[in-house]
Amino acid sequence: MTPFLHLFILLPLIGFLISIMVPDKKEGLISRIAFISVGIHLFSATVFLVYWLFNGHPTLDVKDIVLFGSENYEFFIDFAFDKITATYLFVGAFLTFLVTVYSRVYLHREKGYKRFFNTILFFYSGYNIIIFSGNLETLFIGWEMLGISSFLLIAFYRDRYLPVKNAVKVFSIYRIGDVGLILAMWLIHHLFHGNVTFLQLRNYDIVHEHLLTHSWIGVIISLMILITAAAKSAQLPFSSWLPRAMEGPTPSSAIFYGSLAVHLGVFLLLRTFPFWEQQFSVRILIGLLGLMTTVITTGIARVQSSIKSQIAYASIAQIGLIFIEVAAGFQTLALIHFAGNAFLRTYQLLVSPSVVSYLIREQFYNFSPRERSLENSFPKKIQYSLYTLCLKEWNLDSFMYRYLWNPLKWIGTRFDFLTLNRAIIFFVPSYLIGVFLLYNEEVMPEGVEEFLPFLFSFIGLVIVLKAFTERKLARMSWILIIMNHFWIVLAISFNEHFTYEHSILYLSGVVVAGILGFLCLRRLKSFENSIDLDQFHGHSFDHPKIAFIFLISCLGLAGFPITPTFIGEDLIFSHIHEDQPVLALFVALSFIINGLAIIRIYARVFLGPHVKSIYDMAYRSS
């Protein structure tokens, strides 16, 4: 049965590759390719599930491809199949097929028709990689594919300000989840002394033996997994991103934020359940988080004026209940609840435009509220306070800005004195001195070497913070991002001496993508007067080819699967010791802010309303 696992991964990926080569104007052919790809996928999934059930529904696991191997480290792709995968496979295949059929007509003559179906097939490829993943490394590949798909789908109407702005906002929340996943993988590597599969995590004796002497590491891993799941499934305090993601087309909202992607946080908790099952404090924390999210988002949903926002917050509330079920150990109930919520929210989102239209046209429509509700039993002051808080969405957006993004921006603005020339004059000689010390350790005073990894990783973090907050020169921000990667490699080289091939593999992807992206910005600058980062320029309108090549460069520089940079980042973390949480945090923050700075450059230079447009654009969301 294991060969069929590859079929489910390859089908949507082949459809995506074929659809890329079809001209934009051939709508019928584009939609047929998507329809046939997901149709065959649904049919083969149904047949396979029946066959799997009649053969005793065994748990399958296959170690597929070793992407990189060394004496102490192995990066391999692993696929698995059990009842969790089976549930997510059937729900995903059925709903993706349904949305594809719906979109063929709904998006007829839309300017981004081909772009939409390409992104949907790419998203579905990432979704299948996640649900079939047998280890965290494989899951992270699909996780990153979903992140960029999410950004592209929300920013589908890329000539408008709000979709692009909200796409960047949602992507930033996703990157927070990436921090948790990266740190969890790092600690698991050290805990189990290797690349561990989900099937191995089911072995209670192995897990218990390793956690017996490293219980605090187990708790931190579980907390990192919870942060990742909460960010992906829009649980507190990240709940405000889901309604903002509804700026994309209705079909993408249905498939992405109503049914499949938003439930992948639940999938991560179910997959890692055997690891944190015996950690009672973690289970209580997951349950409390789900309960708080359910209570708060239910109130917010009841006062929303937009139908999409109502559905979004109602879905978040149900996922909070699923978190409680997972924490309580009711895995089968959680899977049933996931399937029911996914089907319901997809239906509600797909019919929402028609419902609004019917109610507007209906002359005799009258709303009759219930005579009594739960809130009526509260004192008036509490009623009014709750109503105001829910109307303001409990200031969740302000909370994220005040305690996360604003401090990062404040730190970055402290380095406004750094111009491109000053950065090169200061950091390049400093880097060369660092390389000299690396190969001539005998000239360093005793005890200095152990502090250099922290110093160099901190310099790299400062550089990328400056790149993230740069408001003027796009090329300067791009160069600083490249420099950040070099400083990270230097820092880890002092931390643990390893073979040159690790550094070469990592930096080869950085150099190629960096040069290609810089040439794109340079060529665009020769055509346009301004590509500063102080506003959205929308240059993809006039320069679509440059925009596409620059997007590829962004993916390569940000460590997109399965680029050399992606494998290199995982290798770099394997050389950080378990007793160096500060160093791991610096490196993880560098990678995450790195990705945010890259996507910010792409969004501000190539997306948004075109600078030469004569029409007014909305700059505020209702």
Residues 253 and 340: beta-carbon distance below 8 Å: no
Structure tokens at 442: 């005998």
Do both 356 and 423 map to the same domain?
no
The pair phi, psi for residue 362, each rounded to 5°, is -70, 115
Q: Are residues 222 and 355 in the same domain?
A: yes
**What is the C-alpha separation between 366 and 283, in angstroms, rounded?**
45
**Contact yes or no for 489/506 (Cβ under 8 A):** yes
Average pLDDT of the segment spanning 481-488: 89
Report the range of poorest mean pLDDT among 19-28, 488-497, 509-518.
488-497
Q: 373 lies in a domain?
A: no
Q: Which of 316, 333, 360 is the last residue of a domain?
A: 360
Do 10 and 114 belong to one domain? Answer: yes
pLDDT band at 68 (very low <50, low <70, confident <90, very high): low
Length of the chain: 622
Is 309 among the domain residues?
yes
* Same domain membership, residue 182 and residue 65: yes
Cα–chain center distance at 176: 8
Residues 327 and 427 in one domain: no
Find where tokens 């839309």 sit. 110
Which region, left, alpha or beta, applies to residue 411 given φ > 0 means left and ψ of -120 to 50 means alpha? alpha
Q: Of 325, 345, 360, which closes a domain?
A: 360
Q: Which of 326-330, 569-573, 618-622 is the least confident region?
A: 618-622
Distance between CA atoms of residues 400 and 94, nearest Å:
35
> Does one domain contain both 346 and 419?
no
Rg (Cα) of the chain, in Å, rounded?
25
Number of domains in the chain: 2
Give the chain's mean pLDDT: 84
pLDDT at 613 (0 to 100):
64
Average pLDDT over residues 586-599: 87
- What count of other Cβ atoms lies within 10 Å of the Cβ of residue 84? 21
Q: Are 487 and 594 in a shared domain?
A: yes
Instruction: State residue 71's pLDDT score.
Output: 62
pLDDT of residue 324: 94
Using pLDDT thresholds of 50, 70 and 90, give the confidence band for residue 96: very high
Q: What is the pLDDT of residue 356?
A: 65
* Separation CA 53–CA 90 (nearest Å): 13
Using CA atoms of 397, 400, 402, 403 in order, give the dihedral in degrees to the nearest 10: 160
Is the pLDDT at 622 greater than 50? The verdict is no
In a domain, 396, yes or no: no
Mean pLDDT value across residues 455-477: 87
Residue 415's alpha-carbon distances to 184, 375, 425, 471, in angstroms, are 31, 50, 15, 12
Q: Is the pLDDT of residue 366 over 90?
A: no
Selected residue with higher pLDDT from 191 and 103: 103
Mark out the alpha helices in 133-214 (DSSP H runs).
136-154, 161-192, 198-201, 204-212
Alpha-carbon distance of 483 to 431, in angstroms, equals 9
Q: Are residues 102 and 241 in the same domain?
A: yes
- In a domain? residue 239: yes
3-state helix, strand, coil in the chain (%, to 5): 75, 5, 20
Residues 297 and 421 in one domain: no
Contact 608, 536 (CB under 8 A): yes
CA proximity to 418, closest of 458, 471, 456, 488: 471
Tens digits of residue pLDDT in 428-462: 888 888 888 777 777 777 777 778 888 888 888 88
When mean pLDDT is compared across 252-261, 290-299, 312-321, the lowest value belongs to 252-261
d(CA 106, CA 389): 36
State whether 466 and 541 are in the same domain: yes
Q: Give the range among 256-265, 315-324, 497-506 with minimum mean pLDDT.
A: 497-506
Segments forming the whole domain that contains residue 459: 414-606
Question: Looking at the predicted structure, is the pLDDT value of residue 498 above 80?
Answer: no
For residues 407-419, average pLDDT: 76
